[in-house]
Chain A
Amino acid sequence: MGFPADAPSVLEFPLEMFVPGSDLSPLEKNLDQIIFGLTQWKSKIAERTSYAPPPITIEGKDYPAALDNLNLFFLRNLWSDGLPIVPATRERVDWLLTGANLPREKILGTMLPRGGIVTLEQIAVALAMAGGRPEYMPVLIATVAAFLDPAIKHEHLQTTTGNNFPVVIVNGAIAKQIRLNAGTGCCGPDPNHPAGASIGRALRFLQMNVGGAIPGQGTMAEYGANRFTNMVIAENEDALPAGWQSLSEERGFSRASNTVTLHFVASIIDMIPSTTTTEQAAIYTLNRWAAYIGGPFNMYFGFESRWEHGSPGVLLMGALTAQGFANTGFSKDQIRECLWEKSKLAPEKVKEYGYEKHVAELRLDPTMPLPVSKSPKSLLIAIAGGAPSGHAYFMPNQGYTSVTQEIKLPSSATWDDLLKQAAQDLGPLPAS
């Protein structure tokens, strides 16, 4: 688990003890150790130390055999996700670090529960394993910085029995420059826009290897994180209707800024249909969306800090859906207000779902319908996905809040060189 050898006693209790009606006899069997942890244990650490594991030598009769051995070795050590990885050699990591604007030793923080130290070099190692390119580094660095922001409370989300993954929405010119997808197939897989998969998978490698979120050990997620590549997409800023702000503008940044917005979600719901070709169609769509949002996902209001700063989740709509709403006179905030009102849970539903204690804890009026969040403004809305208005995505919340982080680029000369190299390696930028 990566605990220092000198950590307080780490006792193992069977997972079965933590379910209703379980046998609690392991408590008595471990009582002496519990008492030891409170009384006799003393730290042997005399000063601040750190342990950096050395590089690993991989051998094989030829390169393909060595690559097989690498993948087997990483699997046996629980450092992989079960899919093939790319060797994070010193040369490859150095190449990736050309996309960073800070020294490789720069520390962004520690990732829990394991407490591994996240440096720019460690981020590059993860990106190397995920098959990434140096022009992805600025987005990945900003993403990791957002992930480690104390407001995100990653230590809870990494270890919970809940099943979640971070959604990362990128705004700014960088999205197209590095081939992130904002349109058809944006959630992947998409060989025309490979950046999202590598960046998301690199983040997942950091979560598992540096942060220790291995199923049944560091994370108790009952079904897992679902997405090997998390979700890293771009907002389709070209499709924003007149007067509609981008996600990053709503969060205080200029349209010219490059930003990432990170939020933890539990799942993905494909909301069909999501047409807005007429005013009546738009109303029907809002009614259906509200029914999805108003489902019994208690992760909006189930905990007080989520109520104060959290969100019902992330809603993605395609270009024509957005334009249809705008043609009917809806602004983004009006859509939010409408969904917030329509998704409220009637008091009898609150009772039926067993949410009365949450209403009491939040000191709300139990005779009034329960909204999904304290404010309608907290629903994250971005324009992304295929242009036709048949579908929209709602991703119910499992995080505490969302964070937007500005992306920092290397020098303009370096950045231009990286993009030129990408054009040589991958061909011209895709049309959309």
Chain B
Amino acid sequence: MISFQVLNPCGAVGSTKGAYAPRLPDLAGKTIGMLSNQLGEADRIFPAMRELLRKRFPTANIIPHTEFPQGGDRIDSAEIVQIVQSKKCDAVIVGNAQ
């Protein structure tokens, strides 16, 4: 019997404290933005998700994706951060596939 060792092909992965924004206590009364990259049926999935969330949290203000710039480049920019902040969003949902 022979044996040999090989190095793992996947390499190390790391994780960092503070990588994620603090969570909200709940969504009641909160403003949630929806940002679409216009892919993966976002035009159907986002409105469906919005309706489900509105039924669960009637006092939440869920801003539809059509009220933000759309497209992969546009939602990955400093401009979109300013727009999200100007609309006073407490959270954003970003999608949809690539």
B86 within 8 A of partner (CB): no
Q: How far is the CB of A83 from chain B (nearest CB, A)?
A: 14
Return chain B residues, CB-CB under 8 Å to A55: 5-8
Q: How far is the CB of A123 from chain B (nearest CB, A)?
A: 9
Q: How far is the CB of A366 from chain B (nearest CB, A)?
A: 19
Bound state CA distance, A160 and B40, in angstroms?
11
> Which of A36-44, A272-280, A334-342 faces chain B?
A36-44
What secondary structure prevails in chain B residues at the interface with A?
loop
Interface size class of A (residues with CB under 8 A): 35 or more
Q: How far is the CB of B72 from chain A (nearest CB, A)?
A: 6
Chain B interfacial residues counted at CB < 8 A: 45
* A89→B6 contact, CB < 8 A: yes
Bound state CA distance, A74 and B11, in angstroms?
14
* B11→A57 contact, CB < 8 A: no
B63 within 8 A of partner (CB): no
* B23→A41 contact, CB < 8 A: yes
A394 within 8 A of partner (CB): no
Q: How far is the CB of B87 from chain A (nearest CB, A)?
A: 17
Bound state CA distance, A253 and B6, in angstroms?
39
Bound state CA distance, A220 and B10, in angstroms?
20
Most chain A CB inside 10 Å of its own CB: which residue of B1, B9, B16, B20:
B9
Bound state CA distance, A6 and B15, in angstroms?
9
Question: 1/0 contact trace for A183-212 toward B, CB 8 Å?
Answer: 000000000000000000000010001100
**A27-B7 contact, Cβ under 8 Å, with A20-B41, A62-B2, A304-B71:** no
Q: How far is the CB of A39 from chain B (nearest CB, A)?
A: 5
Residues of A within 8 A of B (CB): 2, 4, 6, 8, 17-20, 22, 24, 27-28, 31, 34-35, 38-43, 45-63, 66, 70, 74, 79, 87-90, 93, 110, 114-119, 121-122, 125-126, 128-129, 156, 159-161, 205, 209-210, 220, 303-305, 361
Residues of B within 8 A of A (CB): 1-20, 23-27, 32, 39-41, 44-45, 48-49, 52-53, 56, 71-74, 91, 93, 96-98
